[in-house]
Amino acid sequence: MSVMLSLNAIRKTFNPGTANEVRALRGVSLEIEAESFVIVVGSNGSGKSTLLNAVAGSFLLDEGSITIAGQEVTRWPEHRRAKLIGRVFQNPFSGTAPAMSIAENFAVAARRGQPRGLSWALSHRMHAAIRDRVQGLRSGMDDRLDNAIGSLSGGQRQALTLLMATWLAPKLLLLDEHTAALDPKSADKVIELTREVVERQRLTTLMVTHSMQQAVNLGDRLIMMHKGEVFSDVRGAEKKRLRVDDLLARFDAVRRRECLDDSAAELLRKTYV
């Protein structure tokens, strides 16, 4: 199968040379095949969100290169990469324009990565198309297309953002802990919708999550990160067999190895220094 996303030894250090120096990505290499649904998990500060932001172009890399659908995008600014990428953020406020209507938000999304000219943003045809898609959510929002999106709940906004991001099928869908800010019930709904959309449109998806349950239930490949590196990459039948306990065990193992490293270093220091 063809490779949709390829990361080649990417590195990023924030605030280099200061007390706040963070080596967020320490040489991550990854190849993701078209139409695969990849879950990324990791502890806080493991670099999982940074990985997603690097792909999206929120910052430029220190080293390494990124190729999406055969195009090298390493130096592309964020808005140019948007032609290839659909995104949903952790914060429901980031993905929508709260003061504008649902329909207007969709009108902006419908031109993702395309030139925006002086034709009407909301033609009758566009309005009808938006109504069709929003109706698919079966949440009654299709009667409120002209209401400001800011009046909706976080879960509703995330569902709409997901529809907006996939209005034009993206080469790559990036989901950055998109249910983390929601209550459990809304989170379940958004996850269900995510599964539906990804399957129906056969999207190549990279999803960061903090939820071990989601990591086990969703996707066909699982990447585990720790301190800016990928330490485990599970796919196929092994991914299907994976349970939450297995995940926790793997994370424990990494942490224990690290403690051992630290205590071993301490021991050596005491002995020789």
Partner 1 sequence: MNLLLGAWTIGLIMALLAVGVFISFRVFGMADITVDGSITLGAAVAAVLLVRGINPVLATLCGFLAGMVAGTVTGVMCTRLRINPLLAGILTMTALYSVNLRIMGKSNVSLASARSLGSWCETWGERWFHGSQVPVAGYVAASRDVAMLAAMLIAVSFVSLLLYAFFKTQLGTAMRAAGDSPQMVRALGGSVENYQVIGLALSNGLVALSGALLAQYQGFSDAQMGIGMVVWGLASIIIGEALTGGHSLGLAIVGSIMGSVLFRLVVALVLRWGLNPNDLKLITAVFVLVALVLPRLLQRRKAAATA
Instruction: List contacts with partner 1 (CB under 8 A).
Output: 56, 77-80, 82-83, 85-87, 89, 93-100, 104-105, 107-109, 111-114, 116-122, 148, 164-165
Cβ–Cβ under 8 Å, residues 38 and 223 = yes
Nearer to partner 1 by Cβ, of 100 and 242: the residue is 100
CB of 247 to partner 1, least distance (A): 29
Q: How far apart are CA 242 and CA 240, in angstroms?
A: 6
Nearer to partner 1 by Cβ, of 108 and 242: the residue is 108
Tell me whether strands 172-176 and 3-14 are parallel, antiparallel or unpaired.
unpaired
Cβ–Cβ under 8 Å, residues 166 and 201 = yes
Q: How far apart are CA 63 and CA 78, in angstroms?
A: 17
**How are strands ordered across the β-sheet holding 63-68?**
22-33, 3-14, 63-68, 71-72
CB of 205 to partner 1, least distance (A): 15
Nearer to partner 1 by Cβ, of 47 and 92: the residue is 92
DSSP 83: T
CB of 160 to partner 1, least distance (A): 11
CB of 248 to partner 1, least distance (A): 33
CB of 111 to partner 1, least distance (A): 6
Element (H, E) at 43: none
Nearer to partner 1 by Cβ, of 3 and 168: the residue is 168
Nearer to partner 1 by Cβ, of 77 and 140: the residue is 77
